[in-house]
A and B are shown apart, each in its own frame.
Chain A
């Protein structure tokens, strides 16, 4: 009996896990499609926002002309990766370009 419970739990867990993973992957794909044409992803990945704040950003960007097709997945992906409970990553540095003419 106990084994059955554990197995069921494990199956449920892996299903939920798979569903989450599929959504996150769809969200990531949507990010590339809907956001990248106008700006690099670094602008997104440096944010740490609540679900409500991410939702508002998606509204703002929709108003600014991006056509988001898979909005739910994109939102899940943003919250899962760049939610306000996630640690802030140190920013990257550019490579020295001072010798190059701008």
Chain B
């Protein structure tokens, strides 16, 4: 009995300490943002509550924010310069006007944090414990990366591009630098965006942010200030060991085998239920189950919904277009035949035939969660 009581005391103490700490810095306001799920306030890591996902394009004031290191002070647009160095015939420094003079393109693409859904993995892994809302869909507009690099003349032997932003690590935290295969850099949909839904918010990486449609958010470097073509992939922390996924699945909880970790390129197929809310109480009658689905570089072929825990599935309708890179909204009308508790599931299939799994692959950093989504609701007699 004594050890139990000690444990109980310990737990009570710990709980009291945790409660005090949780209350310590409440009341955080993020200028330009509606109330967001707050994972971290310095630097800001903000998740979009599911009820805001009611439009095809996610509003800037509700778009999620993920930062590894403190964001830079707002960049003076007139003083901004983009350096292109390394394996180029003519190193250049480009102003915003230089970038605006290039042909401008708009790409609609879904941006998802690599760790979206990390909080669902068991056993738990370190990192921001994202739920479903570290994702958003926007119109990104700016010049193609291929056109930007042409101004410096890239050496054909360069197979990777190193991308650095204006943010810098504190203490000895590594700088956030990414390296991307030149083939993806030169894809016509890969942009250096100068706006997002027509806006240029500092918190989302403007005046210039890399857009890598279909790839995980880590590739979408913010506040881009330097591009350096290189002969091989750079070796910074955020390329290795950061943001790698086991080549061969590990038993849940097992340590990573460093030699078998691969850089993440692309995203899996996934759907999310945005309505009704999990554990909602609903009156008997006509209801609509809604959500969105996306599949990296592929497009969404179909979304199936079950209202009985996965016994029977029905195909949802999709009011938005079938496009690569961008999510599709989906919906299904449902009239429950009796009151009671219902488990609603959604399962997406993409244009390459990939199907959302029941059990995503556990991995030591909690990346790429894409399990069949699930909410429970209670339907009450009217």
A residues near B, CB below 8 A?
9, 13, 16-17, 20-21, 24, 28, 37-43, 45-50, 53, 56-57, 63-66, 77, 80-82, 84, 86, 88-89, 91-98, 100-102
Q: Are A94 and B9 in contact (CB under 8 A)?
A: no
Q: Are B21 and A41 in contact (CB under 8 A)?
A: yes
Q: Which A residue sits closest to B25, measured CB to CB?
A: A40
Interface bracket on B: 35 or more
- Choose among A21, A47, A92, A101 the residue that contacts B124 (Cβ–Cβ < 8 A): A47
B residues near A, CB below 8 A?
2, 5-6, 9-10, 13-14, 17-18, 21-22, 24-43, 45-47, 49, 61, 119, 123-126, 128-129, 169-174, 201-203
In the complex the two chains form, what is the Cα distance from A96 to B37 in whole Å?
11
Q: Are B40 and A43 in contact (CB under 8 A)?
A: yes
Q: Are B33 and A98 in contact (CB under 8 A)?
A: yes
Q: Which residues does chain B contribute within 8 Å of A77, judged by CB atoms?
A: 17
Q: Are B174 and A64 in contact (CB under 8 A)?
A: yes
- CB within 8 Å for A94 and B124 given contacts A13-B5, A42-B25, A81-B17: no
18 contacts between A and B (CB under 8 A): A13-B2, A39-B42, A43-B39, A43-B40, A43-B45, A65-B171, A81-B21, A82-B18, A84-B123, A88-B119, A92-B22, A92-B28, A93-B49, A94-B35, A94-B36, A95-B28, A96-B34, A97-B30
In the complex the two chains form, what is the Cα distance from A50 to B129 in whole Å?
15
- Choose among A17, A64, A93, A102 the residue that contacts B203 (Cβ–Cβ < 8 A): A102
Q: Are A101 and B32 in contact (CB under 8 A)?
A: yes
- CB within 8 Å for A21 and B39 given contacts A46-B128, A64-B173, A94-B30: no
In the complex the two chains form, what is the Cα distance from A101 to B29 in whole Å?
11
In the complex the two chains form, what is the Cα distance from A57 to B171 in whole Å?
16
Q: Are B31 and A102 in contact (CB under 8 A)?
A: yes
Q: Are A95 and B29 in contact (CB under 8 A)?
A: yes
In the complex the two chains form, what is the Cα distance from A28 to B46 in whole Å?
25
In the complex the two chains form, what is the Cα distance from A53 to B172 in whole Å?
21
Q: Are B33 and A102 in contact (CB under 8 A)?
A: yes
Q: Which B residue sits closest to A64, measured CB to CB?
A: B173
Q: Which residues does chain B contribute within 8 Å of A88, judged by CB atoms?
A: 119, 129
Counting chain B CB atoms within 10 Å of each CB, the highest count among A17, A24, A91 belongs to A91
- Choose among B21, B39, B123 the residue that contacts A50 (Cβ–Cβ < 8 A): B123
Q: Are B43 and A39 in contact (CB under 8 A)?
A: yes
Q: Which residues does chain A contribute within 8 Å of B123, judged by CB atoms?
A: 50, 84
Q: Which residues does chain A contribute within 8 Å of B36, judged by CB atoms?
A: 93-94
Q: Are A40 and B41 in contact (CB under 8 A)?
A: yes
In the complex the two chains form, what is the Cα distance from A20 to B27 in whole Å?
32
Q: Which A residue sits closest to B37, measured CB to CB?
A: A91
Q: Which A residue sits closest to B42, measured CB to CB?
A: A40
Q: Are B14 and A102 in contact (CB under 8 A)?
A: no
Chain B nearest Cβ from A1, distance in angstroms: 18
Q: Which residues does chain A contribute within 8 Å of B27, judged by CB atoms?
A: 95
- CB within 8 Å for A94 and B6 given contacts A38-B171, A40-B41, A53-B126: no
